[in-house]
Amino acid sequence: MRSWVFFLICVALAAGVFGCARLIGNDYAFFAGYVVLQFIVLAQAWNILGGYTGYVNFGSAAFFALGAYTSVFFHKFHPLPIPLLMLLGGTVSGLAGLGMGYLALRLRGAFFAIATLALAVVLQTLMVNWSYVGGARGAYVIRPESVWLIGNYVHYLFLLMLALAVLAITTARTIERSRLGYGFATIRDDELAAEACGVPTLRLKLIATTLSGAFMGMAGAPFPYYIGYVQPAAAFGLDYAVNAIAMPMIGGTTTWIGPLVGAILVASLQQWATVTISSELGLLVVGLLLVGFVIVAPSGIVGLVQKHFSAGASAASLGRKAKPADTP
């Protein structure tokens, strides 16, 4: 299916979702839905780098928080409409992604992951020490009462995040099927061989970190208006990093479907746990699911489904499969 056709279908579905939510009328649906959509974006963004190229980013929270703090900065400096803030947050985080890539991408997988964590802490320390945006005490952002045409401000935020989710999903899918997607896959499979085949690995990895960072920043930009109070400990919290990793790994990292499924499942689970028992328990469940899936089902839910459906097909092809001849 062509990319623009897919995009239109997504837009239509999104419009449907928004319409249904308005019909239900329950504000909680919008609050919880916003969180789920936000995580869909974060999971897709993480997966562009982590799933497609195989470079694990532990510092996802930093890019998300940078987007949030960009909004806080402008809120104090000169308030701007949220779509514009999203663009700005995306740009800032995209640049941060580029910078991180430049610093860290020459490193072997494990070192890269640790470097991303290091960067997140450095950025957090910077924010903690920057009193203009509230420093350690945090910053309050008052949400406007209503907005033109849509009315309820939270509905507006929900709609924006919905649009961003559609954009993220479409981008991920388009990349996957493009020349860029092949390049990413070769980096993941064997970087040395990729270079030997003419793939400019560093350049592609930088594209991945920039895109990934930009989407995370865009997801973070409306956050201050959603939550009302931003402080470094929460914005840079480990739970964003863990969720950003857990959702694609649980859903499946090789396609755009994985992060979508993983995000919806895990975010909903967490929301349910938060409401019924406690948010800590929700986090515990995420952690356990991550460890469980990584050990037992590394290809995620998508992988499990694929295996289930191809079990019949591969049995038939076993006869044609050549056996290793003279293995030395």
Partner 1 sequence: MTGPLLQVAGLGKRFGGFVALDGIDLTVASGERIGLIGPNGSGKSTLVNCICGTLANDSGTVSFDGKVIDRLKTHERTRRGIARSFQLPRPFATLTVAENLLVPLLYTVNARPGNNLSAAAIEARGADLLQLVGLADKAAQRPRDLTQVEMRKLELARAMAAEPQLLIADESMAGLSQVEVADIVTLLIKLNERGVTIILIEHIMRAVMRFSQRLVVLVSGTKIADGAPADVIRDPDVERAYLGQ
Partner 2 sequence: MDLLLNALVAGVLLGGFYAAVTIGVSISFGILDIVNIAHPAFIILGSYIAYILNTRLGIDPIVASVIMLPAFYALGGLVYQIYHAAFERYGQESLRGLAFFFGLLFITEVVLILAFGVDYRYVEAPYIGPSLHLGVVDLPLRMLVPCLVSLAVFIALQIFLSGTFIGRAIMAVAQDQLALQLMACSPTRIKRIAFGISIATASIAGALLVVIQPVEPSIGREYIGRVFAICVLGGLGSLPGTLIGAMLVGIVESLTSTFYGPSWAPAVAFGFLLMTLALRPAGLLGR
How many residues contact partner 2, by CB under 8 A? Answer: 46
Which one, 68 or 199, has the nearer CB to partner 1?
Answer: 199
Using the structure block, give the residue that is written with the tokens 């949030």: 68
Residue 271's contacts (CB-CB under 8 Å, 6 or more residues apart) are 32, 35, 36, 282
Of 32, 41, 47, 50, the one binding partner 2 by CB under 8 A: 50
> Which window, 77-85, 216-224, 243-251, 263-271, contacts partner 2 (CB under 8 A)?
243-251
**290 part of the interface to partner 2, by CB under 8 A:** yes
Smallest separation, CB 280 to partner 2 (Å): 5
**113 part of the interface to partner 2, by CB under 8 A:** yes
Q: Which of 114, 266, 106 is nearest to 191 (CA)?
A: 106
198 binds, among partner 2, partner 1, none (CB under 5 to 8 A by kind): partner 1
Q: Which of 221, 174, 176, 226 is nearest to 52 (CA)?
A: 176
| Distance, CA of 214 to CA of 81 (rounded, Å) | 18
Using the structure block, give the residue that is written with the tokens 């201050």: 224
Of 10, 41, 49, 56, the one binding partner 2 by CB under 8 A: 56
Which one, 12 or 281, has the nearer CB to partner 2?
Answer: 281
280 binds, among partner 1, partner 2, none (CB under 5 to 8 A by kind): partner 2
Of 197, 291, 307, 314, the one binding partner 2 by CB under 8 A: 291
DSSP string, 123-171: HHHHHHT-GGGTGGG-EE-PPPSEETTTEEHHHHHHHHHHHHHHHHHHH
Which residues contribute to the site for partner 2 (CB under 8 A)?
50, 54, 56, 58, 103-104, 106-111, 113-115, 117-119, 121-122, 124-126, 128-129, 136, 238-239, 241-242, 245-246, 249, 278, 280-281, 283-284, 286-288, 290-291, 294-295, 298
